[in-house]
Chains A and B, each alone.
Chain A
Amino acid sequence: MRSIDFHAHLTPQCFWRATENGGDWHGIRREQDARGRQIVVSGTSRGQLPPKASWTPEQRLADMESLGVDIHVVSPFSGFYNYELDAGLAMASSRETNDEISQMMMSWPDRFHGLATLPMQDVPAAVQELERVMVELEFKGAVIDDKVNGKLLDDPEFMPFWKAAEQLGAVILFHQGGETIVDRRIKRYHLPNSVGNLADRTLTFASLVMGGVMDACPDLRICLSHGGGYACYGAGRMDRGWDRIPQADRLAAHPPSQYLNRFYYDCIVYTEQALRFLIDSVGIERVVFGTDWPYDMAQDWPVSWILSLDSITQEEKDAILWKNLENLLGV
């Protein structure tokens, strides 16, 4: 048995080094709060980093050993998407981060694979960097936000990106960065994360499907983190919404629920009942292992959680923990 983690973040060492003595990394600074916690300061936004975020690849590998995780498909910290910054600056920070992941892959080819971060505010530049990492650096794809400066990813502006991702065989992982859809409504009780992440992922599923992106790109490979949010649970209502659109105006050929098995989903749903529902809704071949390393919303022992579930067969556990990702990524 193996385990391959498709949802494992990296706050690059180049950021930690550049900000070591009060310096900045592409304009991003770092502060320590009164309790000694590391705070990223980018423009007007401030985000807290967990202690493990500064860990070197060697420390990460030791933690993976302890968790029983064989491979991290490393994706850059979503706080550094930098979509709101100057595109040239975002390109520079993306390239530097992606190059660091490439170094990790070269040093530990059996342990690390890579997902790139891309300057999505400049679609031609994003396509260019995606081509570079896929062709030259042998990445598996990229991680992007559910929205780019207020636009959802079904916006026609992004069609060249989707075509390129499809043609390159890149897997695109969706993961929120910055504020979620809930932030301006309510910031209390951790709801921007615990409800907002799921809401944004649901909207990504619905907009890509209803906007016709999945029809236009039949071989596109997309993974929705956090189990795709409410997508599988809410697909029945989306079908009714699709039904109401006059046939001539429909951009999706089929009702949304029929696209559930076109996406991949990580298994971060926390309860056995929800994981069972996800599998039964989207198909076992579409659910992949992910942990959200190294954040507090990760489960403490994610591999043994999967292994402990009574309603999931051993065959299904193998599919989630490694077989599906082996097939998807060719690793």
Chain B
Amino acid sequence: MRVIDVHAHLAPQVLWSAFEQGHSWHGMTHETRGDQEFIVGHGKRILINSPKIRYTPEQRLADMDAEGTDMQVVSIHTPLFPYHWETGEAIEASKEVNDEIAGMTKRWPDRFVGLATLPLQDVDAAIDELERAVKTLGLKGAELDMVVNGLNWDEPRFLPLFKAAESLGALLFFHPQPQDNIVAVERTLRYGLPNSVGVVMEDALVVATLICSGVLDECPNLKVCIAHGGGGACFAMGRLDHGWQVRSEARVNILKPPSAYQNQIYYDFLTSSEAGLRFLIDSVGADRVVIGSDWPFVGWDPSPSGWLDGLQSLSAEEKEKIAWKNLEALLGI
């Protein structure tokens, strides 16, 4: 069984090289406090909570070999998204990251494909960089946050980006902030709840927003994938449907109930339970679910594909689709 992983993070070597030389990288610096290390800058303090996030491509490949992953779809660690930076700096940093990922895909074309980082505070610049990333660098799309400096994806200013992605055949992979998300902002920092609970809320919210905004009608061929199995989105699709039935504001942009759109979206298989994954497959179809391991932040037993392979409630055909067939077709690899 071939294994392609859509959800594999990267903190670029260009950042670590700068730190090693005692420099900052676009305003980000390295900080050690006790036995904890952080990347600090632009109002963020990002805990380095896995030593593997520093790995060189060679070390990453060894790790992939050990866990039986043939290919990673590499995208940036989302706390490094530069949407809130000064625009020029964000454009520069995006280009550096995308060039680095492109370098990995050119050197190891059988092992890596890449998703770009975009300077979303300037939609025109983001479209330019997406075009460069796909046409010139050969990347497969872009990774996006759930919100851009407080703006949701249904804002009209983002429609040109979706149109551009659709015409480029670019995949848009949505992934939330693991820490600075809706739970941290609105409620609590205790017990790691922003990560353990906030992430699935953010995933659910972006699915609901993309569906209810009408973007999927405007861009019927848009390729979208949501991390963490879409969070609670598909489990709770019935409530969205009922809201659509009884509330006019839920119907303003879509003519069909929300559930009719859920299989226009791809979801990674990171549901954290077999029952959850089975539910997701039954909701959206095995054609819409792909391996996403959250490398290097989730410890899999025994490995992402090993976990999938051991599931009793999935057929061999479903496992093949999830492990590689769907992504092979989606990304043309």
Interface residues of A (CB under 8 A from B): 147, 152, 154, 181-182, 184-186, 188-191, 193-195, 197-199, 202-203, 206-207, 210-211, 226, 229-230, 233-242, 244-245, 251, 269-271, 273-274, 277, 280-281, 296-297, 299
Q: Which of the candidate stretches B37-45, B72-80, B107-115, B192-200 sits at the interface with the other chain?
A: B192-200
The answer to whether A241 and B192 have CB atoms under 8 Å apart is yes
- Tell me if B141 counts as interface (CB < 8 A to partner A): no
Contact partner, A297, options B213, B243, B283, Cβ 8 Å: B243
Nearest 5 Cβ contacts at the A-B interface: A241-B196, A270-B238, A236-B272, A230-B232, A189-B212
Residue of A at shortest CB range from B237? A271
**Minimum CB distance partner of A271 in chain B:** B238
Q: In the complex where A207-B191, A238-B196, A238-B197 touch, is A195 in contact with B183 (Cβ < 8 A)?
A: no
Interface check B131, CB cutoff 8 A = no
A contact residues around B276 at 8 Å (CB): 233, 236
Chain B residue with Cβ nearest A210: B191
* Interfacial chain B residues near A194, Cβ < 8 Å: 208, 236, 239-240, 242-243, 250
Contact across chains for A186 and B152 when beta carbons are under 8 A apart: yes
Known contacts being A194-B250, A195-B204, A296-B246, is A203 close to B193, with CB within 8 Å? Answer: yes
The answer for the CA separation of A185 and B151 in the assembled complex, in Å, is 8
Could you tell me if A245 and B192 are in contact, using CB atoms closer than 8 angstroms?
A: yes
Contact B272 A239 (CB under 8 A): yes
CB proximity to A under 8 Å, residues B225-276: 228, 231-232, 235-244, 246-247, 249-250, 252-253, 271-273, 275-276
Chain B residues touching A, majority SS: helix
A230 touching B236, Cβ below 8 Å: yes
Contact of A245 among B191, B243, B282 (CB under 8 A): B191
| A-chain residues with CB within 8 Å of residue B272 when the two chains form the complex | 234-237, 239-240
A187: nearest chain-B partner, CB-CB:
B249
B154 touches A240 (CB 8 A): no
Residue of A nearest to B242 (CB): A270
- Say yes or no: is B33 at the interface (Cβ < 8 Å to chain A): no
- When each residue 67-90 of chain B gets 1 if its CB lies under 8 Å from chain A and 0 otherwise, what string results? 000000000000000000000000
**B contacts with A, residue count (CB < 8 A):** 52
B296 to chain A, nearest CB (A): 14
Taking CB atoms, residues of chain A closer than 8 Å to B204 are 195, 198-199, 230
> Roughly how many angstroms separate A182 CA and B187 CA in the complex, as a whole number?
11
Q: Does B64 contact A (CB under 8 A)?
A: no
Q: Which of A188, A202, A211, A273 contacts B249 (CB 8 A)?
A: A188
Task: Verify A191–B200 contact, CB threshold 8 A.
Answer: no
CB of B246 within 8 A of CB of A297, answer yes
* Contact status A233-B191, CB under 8 Å: no
Chain B nearest CB: distance from A9 CB in Å? Answer: 16
Given the contacts A186-B205, A236-B276, A239-B272, A269 and B191 also touching, CB distance less than 8 Å = no
Contacting residues, chain B, for A297 (C-beta < 8 A): 239, 242-243, 246
Interface centre among A152, A237, A241 (most CB of B within 10 A): A237
The reply to whether A154 and B239 form a contact with Cβ atoms under 8 Å apart is no
Is B147 in contact with chain A by the CB < 8 A criterion?
Answer: yes
Chain B residues, CB < 8 A from A239 = 272
Whether the pair B196, A181 counts as a contact (CB closer than 8 A) is no
A211 touches B191 (CB 8 A): yes
Q: Using A189-B249, A199-B205 as known contacts, list a sample of 11 further A-B pairs with CB atoms less than 8 Å apart, ordered by residue number in A.
A: A154-B190, A181-B182, A181-B187, A181-B201, A189-B252, A190-B249, A199-B204, A234-B232, A237-B200, A244-B192, A277-B235
Question: For residue B228, which residues in chain A have a CB less than 8 angstroms away from its CB?
Answer: 237
| Chain B residue contacts of A277, Cβ below 8 A | 235, 275, 279
Most buried by A among B231, B238, B247: B238
- Distance in angstroms between the alpha carbons of A297 and B241 in the assembled complex: 10
Contact B182 A195 (CB under 8 A): no
- In the complex, what's the smallest C-beta–C-beta distance from A189 to chain B, in angstroms? 4
Nearest to A186 among chain B residues (CB) is B152
Kindly supply a per-residue 1/0 record for chain B positions 142-176, scoring 1 wherever the CB is within 8 Å of any chain A CB and 0 otherwise. 00000100001010000000000000000000000
- Residue contact B246 to A237, C-beta cutoff 8 Å: no
CB <8 Å contact, A189 and B208: yes
Q: How far is the CB of A287 from chain B (nearest CB, A)?
A: 15
Q: A251–B191 contact, CB under 8 A? A: yes
Instruction: Give the residues in chain A near B273, CB-CB below 8 Å.
Output: 235-236
Query: Which residues of chain B come closer than 8 Å to A195, judged between CB atoms?
Result: 201, 204-205, 208, 236, 240
Residues of B within 8 A of A251 (CB): 191
Q: Which residues of B contact A147 (CB under 8 A)?
A: 187
Option from B212, B239, B279 in Cβ contact (under 8 Å) with A270: B239
